[in-house]
Amino acid sequence: MRLGIHIPHMGPQAGPEAITRVATAAETAGYETLWTSERLLFPVNPRTPYGGSRDGSLPDVCRRVIDPLDALTFAAASTKTMGLGTSVLVMPFYNPVVLGRRLTSIDVLSGGRLRVGLGQGWSIDEFEAAGIDPKTRGRRADEFMQVLHAMWKDNPAEFKGKYYTLPKSHFDLRPVQQPHPPIYFAAFSPASMKRLAIYGDGWLPVVIPVAAMKQMWAGILSMAKEAGRDTSKMEFVVRANTTVTDAPLGEGRRIFTGSRDEIRADIAACRDIGAAEVAFDPAFDNVDAFVGLLEMLRELGG
């Protein structure tokens, strides 16, 4: 099982020095993938609670965010072998043709290291800022994927839908990874899991108990087989929002929070249910602490 790490492109420490230092340290330590996240706004009066915290509030690190794709491109220049993943880009924020060109460019410039994680978002405030009706997210996402697949698989490519149009065009810049970089979805609803089964190469679960992950992944694979997909190369990568405590948190704790032994057990449980990778997103106070966590988490991952 691979181990990945989220780079510090969010929070008061976010900047070129922090990204370079963590990326190079992670590669030296044997991590295999660098990941970034997406946050467009830190609303003063949020209208949608954040599912990643118990009280629904956004973490303070979301007040300062370097663009996830720019951060990955920057990190690519200081590493040689590490995969470069997004966990996740929010599809409603992007035009698929413009994003497709950016993703292809990153894959080419990095020598074929890109992994594309996509999701649909959840914040009403962010949808409003992006000019998107959240009620259309599902239908837009289906067309979004059809456009990306056309750009990457056809040349010339064209598409005409309700939300997106691609005039018949040549795309001679092709991804290094053929026919396209692996595509992962943060899918939790039945409709999103079905979309993953049709268009995706993998799943990006977060904050889901191990037993539930196992059950949901089995359901995704079943839907993929029904859609005629070859599931032998599909995989899931567990995003581990990690907080290490001195004392055990015991029963009722969230996965990847607690003592070293508790987190070690979570990593082992993910390995046991067939996870291809655990990607840590650790809570930290400064970059020195982050680099220290790299070594500790690597050891816990065995």
Q: Residue 92's closest CA among 143, 48, 53, 51?
A: 143
State both tokens at 189.
């609803």
Q: What is the pLDDT of residues 50-91, one digit of tens each?
A: 987 778 889 999 999 999 999 999 999 999 999 999 999 999
CB 242 within 8 A of CB 263: yes
pTM: 0.96
Instruction: Please give the Cα distance from 84 to 199 (Å, whole number).
Output: 20
Q: What is the pLDDT of residues 34-49, one digit of tens each?
A: 999 999 999 999 999 9
Domain residue ranges in the chain = 2-300
**pLDDT for the residue numbered 53:** 78
**pLDDT for the residue numbered 299:** 95
- Cα atoms in the 13 Å half-sphere on the side-chain side of 115: 27
Residue 200 CB-density burial (10 A; 0-12 exposed, 13-18 middle, 19+ buried): buried
Instruction: Please give the Cα distance from 137 to 272 (Å, whole number).
Output: 34
Phi-psi region of 255 (alpha: psi -120 to 50; beta: other; left: phi over 0): beta
Q: Residue 291's closest CA among 12, 25, 5?
A: 25
CA distances from 211 to 178, 188, 214, 272 (A): 34, 14, 5, 11
Name the residue with tokens 């989220």. 6
CB 261 within 8 A of CB 248: yes
CATH of the structural domain 2-300, one choice from 3.20.20.30, 3.30.1330.10, 3.40.640.10, 1.20.140.10: 3.20.20.30
Q: Residue 137's closest CA among 99, 86, 199, 90?
A: 90
Chunked into runs of 10 residues, the chain (302 residues) has average pLDDT values of 98 96 97 98 94 85 97 98 98 98 98 98 97 95 98 98 98 98 96 96 97 98 97 97 96 96 98 98 92 95 88
- Indicate if the alpha-carbon torsion angle 225, 230, 232, 233 is positive or negative: negative
